[in-house]
Chain A
């Protein structure tokens, strides 16, 4: 594939480090401010913020097991965060990661448990695992391509349509997991699928810890997304359509094709989040396990400034908070939901960086991220 050179002089590593630091400054201050405000809230409801945050840190990063669990949480976050980021790069707001993830998980689970029975053979692991994950990412991609196509050909706005697709996915998975795909084990009362075959499972990295090969895979995929966006023609086209659709049309880029492709790629990544959760962690799909991933993914994409490296860091941070929250609640009886409040405050301060710039007297820069456009988009 042909590579695209940006028309800028190559910066040296010093400038690169400097600009990375600059880019990280506002998100860092946003996190700091949100943690302070969160502490005030904890104080207001009668808790001890120091003890709460100490418990949070211990639970998130205090031991090998804590790190392992944090990476387990981070894995779907990275995929879903990349999904939302990629769409943002193409000028699309994919609020539908939740539904794409759920659909991917259902497809993966089905290939994982039902396909061997259906074919009447045992599929070798070398084939079964890629098949299962492939089904998941395909399902996610299709689920996202529908709103993409509706936007390209009928002008339906992707924000509303992806949300509607979330509810549709939720209804359909509820139907499937309570009906045709329900685990027939007589002891089971939960809406969940049977366990997937041994051959369709991602192995754990270290025996005794839950962190599985999905995490390195997520890092690899983040690298892949970076390569796609900045080193390939397709990535250049996606970014051009996102930055300036009119220019893209004049430049002869097939606008509709790129739009649908961007959504499909975004859904593919979200579907992979579901596929990896099923093959690496749960070994089945269960109703309600993914509630909230979609919105978390938006926060992660914004906090990571839609850059793959930023997404990875933001995912580990959010994962650490989610993971540590359980220990915090155990130690201090502060409900885990405080994490949602802190995360939404982080998002608030990242999105409205003017507030952060005002508080800390940082000069505004002109490289504002243009993320979405109104209904005409």
Chain B
């Protein structure tokens, strides 16, 4: 990841923020807009960041994982289901139920990743096909179970979608009492407090995981082995690294990250599940990973760009009436909604330099 990439990312984010400030600035103080944009950007970038990290783990060890989308979707569903079961059937408190839901999500992601690993490492199935199978399987299973459990006759919840136990609280719930009232926390201005302390646990965890992944990959023996297996499995095998085992473990770790991303959708962001609700985030994460040149920090920066373009969409909806007439096209949510997708394609054209995948990425290893 070079300075050109980071400055390009910085430029796009500044540009997107400026658009909103220009439009909404007359209504609301620019500082508040920037703070709100930052909060939204970091929050909505969460699944993308985690998805990209998932991709980094898989692909650094040489396994292309295009099934991240499906893993997220399945994890979103099963995490939500677990939370509801804990709360409604087993009568646990909402707080406990939600955390069990998060664990269930992570587990689901790991299990789907195990399937992907089994297909692509053991059976040497074409990895892009294997990932597509996972995506389709996830759509099928979640769609079927969603209808069977909640809407079918004689289903356990009697045809009613039960109330979800709510959402994970933001950090200020725990840190708030330390700050003693509203007047700034630790002497920080309200702006920063709002941006970071109003984030929720998974969003913060995602950022910590970026640092963690970087450390693991580049400063530990495990990371060195992972990269060796992804670049030159034969050489790694020769010096005694178990290629299959290394790949299996990395793919499953990656799957668990995708699982946590799934939990973001139904446990941290909105308290409900809808079929197909991941809406391409898994694929956008892959683009973020590629743009970030398979590095954790690069991927995170790219995820933030997509987050910013979504924040743009959300904020423009809010300032709809303030949009000047000759920018009227910005009033249409569908048109502004194109931004993340167009941005993804633009970024993949390699306008800011080529990226290099790990040398053995996507190739099954034959002993």
Given contacts A154-B349, A371-B126, A374-B357, whether A335 and B152 have CB atoms under 8 Å apart is yes
Give the chain A neighbours of B342 by CB distance below 8 A. Answer: 164, 168
**Do residues A175 and B335 form an inter-chain contact, with CB atoms below 8 A?**
yes
Given contacts A333-B153, A337-B147, A374-B362, whether A155 and B136 have CB atoms under 8 Å apart is no
Provide the bound-state CA to CA distance between A83 and B287, in Å. Answer: 24
Give the chain A neighbours of B135 by CB distance below 8 A. Answer: 295
**Do residues A344 and B130 form an inter-chain contact, with CB atoms below 8 A?**
no
Given contacts A341-B141, A348-B137, A352-B123, whether A156 and B335 have CB atoms under 8 Å apart is no
Give the chain B neighbours of A166 by CB distance below 8 A. Answer: 280
**Do residues B361 and A355 form an inter-chain contact, with CB atoms below 8 A?**
no
Provide the bound-state CA to CA distance between A292 and B363, in Å. Answer: 29
Given contacts A155-B349, A163-B283, A171-B334, whether A375 and B357 have CB atoms under 8 Å apart is yes
Give the chain B neighbours of A221 by CB distance below 8 A. Answer: none
* Interchain nearest-CB distance for A278 vs B (Å): 21
> Interface 1/0s, chain B 125-169, versus A by CB < 8 A?
111111011011101110110111001111000000000000000
* Interchain nearest-CB distance for B4 vs A (Å): 17
Q: Does B194 lie at the interface of the complex (its beta carbon under 8 Å from any beta carbon of A)?
A: no
Within the complex, which residue of B126, B144, B350, B354 is in contact with A340, where a contact is CB–CB below 8 Å?
B144
Within the complex, which residue of B119, B144, B341, B354 is in contact with A351, where a contact is CB–CB below 8 Å?
B119
Most buried by B among A338, A345, A375: A375
- Number of A residues whose C-beta is below 8 Å from B? 54
> Interface 1/0s, chain B 100-144, versus A by CB < 8 A?
000000000000000000010001111111101101110111011
Q: Does B173 lie at the interface of the complex (its beta carbon under 8 Å from any beta carbon of A)?
A: no
Give the chain B neighbours of A298 by CB distance below 8 A. Answer: 132, 136
Provide the bound-state CA to CA distance between A375 and B127, in Å. Answer: 11
Provide the bound-state CA to CA distance between A27 and B366, in Å. Answer: 25
Give the chain A neighbours of B66 by CB distance below 8 A. Answer: 159
Closest to A160 in B: B287
Q: Does B20 lie at the interface of the complex (its beta carbon under 8 Å from any beta carbon of A)?
A: no
Given contacts A335-B152, A374-B64, whether A172 and B338 have CB atoms under 8 Å apart is yes
Closest to A146 in B: B345
Give the chain A neighbours of B147 by CB distance below 8 A. Answer: 335, 337
A and B contact pairs by CB, cutoff 8 A, 16 listed: A157-B290, A157-B348, A160-B345, A164-B345, A168-B341, A168-B342, A171-B338, A174-B334, A178-B334, A295-B135, A295-B136, A338-B144, A345-B137, A347-B132, A352-B125, A374-B362
New A-B pairs, 19, CB < 8 Å, besides A165-B341, A335-B144: A93-B128, A150-B349, A155-B349, A159-B66, A160-B286, A160-B290, A164-B280, A164-B283, A164-B345, A171-B337, A295-B136, A298-B132, A333-B153, A340-B143, A340-B144, A348-B133, A373-B362, A374-B64, A374-B128
